[in-house]
């Protein structure tokens, strides 16, 4: 496993990879054709009027959920595909494979872009992934490899399963296909595409005037790329990590401590984040999150209860039907706005739609009364 890890990940240590990264810029997101990939990026930004009114701040959401496959992961998937094409590691319409270990948005982005750009997506995922996500990936035509939930040090864990499967294909002399392991947690292309696209878009859309940027961390790619860009433009910009209950990242940011030991005989529970919120929160340090650490000023921990209430509040009062991680960001924005006082400009990411979270998060949020108020969230 270690050997496979060294071979397939950390393009930053690889001369060829570093060159591709250097060249990588907004141009990977520019349309070459007018296919679905031309819709990636340049997402709109809107004001969350109810939150602005309540706090006296201006609170904006960057609508990453409006990317064609429904999340910011479209940017990352496209950047990884284009860079690997440039390096000659994959070729369209030759049966080549895009492999990733994911139960979330990244798999959906790879499945959609594989179809659009002439590849096959092969997604390794825990076998307890929600039926709606499995169904969506199956509908998109991705090859699915459900694996038993396991710790990150187990070769059968879904990320490792994808890494090893890619290696096996590439090393098999009888298999003419080429395969890449996307490796979103450790891959430099992840945070860099946010530095090169999401960050500049937010800067432009807020007319160079952002007091606070708030986001959660799944891989850490978004917060790393955006915060690095914003701090370079305006060092006084405050960067806040919104972290769900059960995640170790908030403690890492606020107190410098976190469970960060790769155990020999780990169980999944030690790495699992005990929350209804999907897509963010982690109990291990990833390369992409490490790229954010120098830029994050503070972390705000948000409970599931607060997130559920916020999701329902935004749905009923603003017509914004969002997923759990977006709700977490908005709770952190509300608290930050009240702490800093009126007049500040705060930007959060709206990560994905509530439709991706119907069976778990929204099953509970749906039961919250329509007259829920922001005071109830803060109570
Ligand atoms: N929200 C959702 C719904 C996600 O799937 C993810 C990515 N796992 C994130 C937020 C966080 O994005 P990042 O990986 O860039 O930290």
How much is the pLDDT for 2?
75
**N residues, the chain:** 379
Query: Which H or E element spans position 378?
Result: helix 374-378
**Nearest protein CA to atom 12 of ligand 1, as residue:** 218
Strand partners, 214: 240, 348
How much is the pLDDT for 262?
44
How much is the pLDDT for 241?
98
Residue 235 structure tokens: 């060092």
Strand segments, DSSP code E, in the chain are 45-47, 58-63, 97-101, 120-126, 143-147, 179-181, 212-215, 238-244, 298-302, 345-350
Residue carrying the six token digits 């005071």: 375
Interface confidence: ipTM more than 0.95? yes
By most ligand atoms within 8 Å of CB, the mutation choice from 125, 126, 219 for ligand 1 is 219
How much is the pLDDT for 3?
75
Residue carrying the six token digits 């009126």: 342
How much is the pLDDT for 263?
44
How much is the pLDDT for 65?
98
Question: Ligand 1 centroid vs 176 CA: distance in angstroms?
Answer: 34
Q: Going by DSSP bridges, is the β-strand pair 97-101/45-47 parallel, antiparallel, or unpaired?
A: unpaired
C-alpha to C-alpha distance for 177 and 121, rounded to whole angstroms:
13
Tally of helices (H runs) and strands (E runs) in the chain? 17, 10
Residue carrying the six token digits 């060249």: 23
Residue 351 and residue 326 in contact, taking contact as beta carbons nearer than 8 Å = yes
323 lines ligand 1 (CB under 6 A): yes
C-alpha to C-alpha distance for 347 and 210, rounded to whole angstroms:
7
By most ligand atoms within 8 Å of CB, the mutation choice from 64, 65, 73, 190 for ligand 1 is 73
Residue 272 structure tokens: 């699992």
How much is the pLDDT for 127?
87
Residues of the chain scoring pLDDT < 70 = 7-33, 259-273
216 lines ligand 1 (CB under 6 A): yes
Question: Ligand 1 centroid vs 353 CA: distance in angstroms?
Answer: 12
Strand partners, 124: 101, 145
Residue 194 and residue 221 in contact, taking contact as beta carbons nearer than 8 Å = yes
How much is the pLDDT for 189?
94
C-alpha to C-alpha distance for 282 and 243, rounded to whole angstroms:
9
């Amino acid at each position: 496993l270690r050997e496979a890890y060294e071979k397939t990940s950390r393009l930053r240590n690889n001369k060829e990879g570093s060159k591709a990264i250097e060249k990588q810029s907004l141009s990977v997101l520019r349309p070459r054709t007018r296919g679905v990939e031309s819709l990636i990026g340049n997402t709109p930004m809107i004001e969350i009027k109810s939150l602005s009114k309540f706090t006296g701040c201006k609170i904006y959401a960057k609508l990453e959920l409006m990317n064609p496959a429904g999340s910011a992961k479209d940017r990352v998937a496209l950047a990884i595909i284009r860079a690997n094409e440039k390096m000659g590691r994959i070729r369209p319409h030759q049966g080549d494979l895009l492999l990733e270990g994911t139960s979330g948005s990244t798999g959906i982005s790879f499945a959609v872009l594989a179809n659009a750009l002439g590849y096959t997506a092969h997604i390794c995922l825990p076998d307890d992934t929600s039926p709606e996500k499995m169904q969506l990936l199956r509908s998109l035509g991705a090859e699915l490899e459900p694996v038993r939930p396991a710790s990150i040090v187990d070769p059968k864990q879904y990320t490792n399963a994808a890494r090893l499967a890619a290696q096996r294909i590439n090393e098999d002399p009888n298999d003419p296909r080429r395969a890449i392991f996307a490796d979103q947690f450790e891959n430099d292309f992840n945070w860099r595409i946010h530095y090169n696209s999401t960050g500049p878009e937010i800067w432009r859309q807020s007319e160079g005037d952002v007091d606070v940027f708030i986001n959660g961390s799944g891989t850490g790619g978004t917060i790393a790329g955006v915060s690095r860009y914003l701090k370079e433009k305006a060092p006084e910009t405050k960067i806040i990590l919104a972290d769900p209950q059960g995640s170790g990242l908030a403690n890492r940011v606020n107190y410098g401590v976190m469970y960060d030991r790769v155990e020999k005989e780990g169980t999944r529970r030690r790495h699992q984040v005990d929350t209804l919120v999907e897509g963010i929160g982690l109990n291990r340090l990833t390369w992409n999150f490490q790229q954010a650490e120098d830029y994050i000023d503070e972390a705000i921990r948000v409970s599931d209860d607060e997130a559920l209430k916020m999701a329902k509040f935004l749905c009923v009062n603003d017509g914004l039907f969002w997923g759990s991680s977006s709700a977490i960001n908005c709770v952190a924005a509300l608290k930050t706005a009240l702490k800093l006082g009126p007049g500040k400009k705060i930007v959060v990411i709206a990560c994905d739609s509530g439709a991706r979270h119907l069976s778990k998060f929204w099953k509970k949020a749906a039961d919250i009364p329509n007259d829920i108020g922001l005071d109830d969230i803060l109570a």
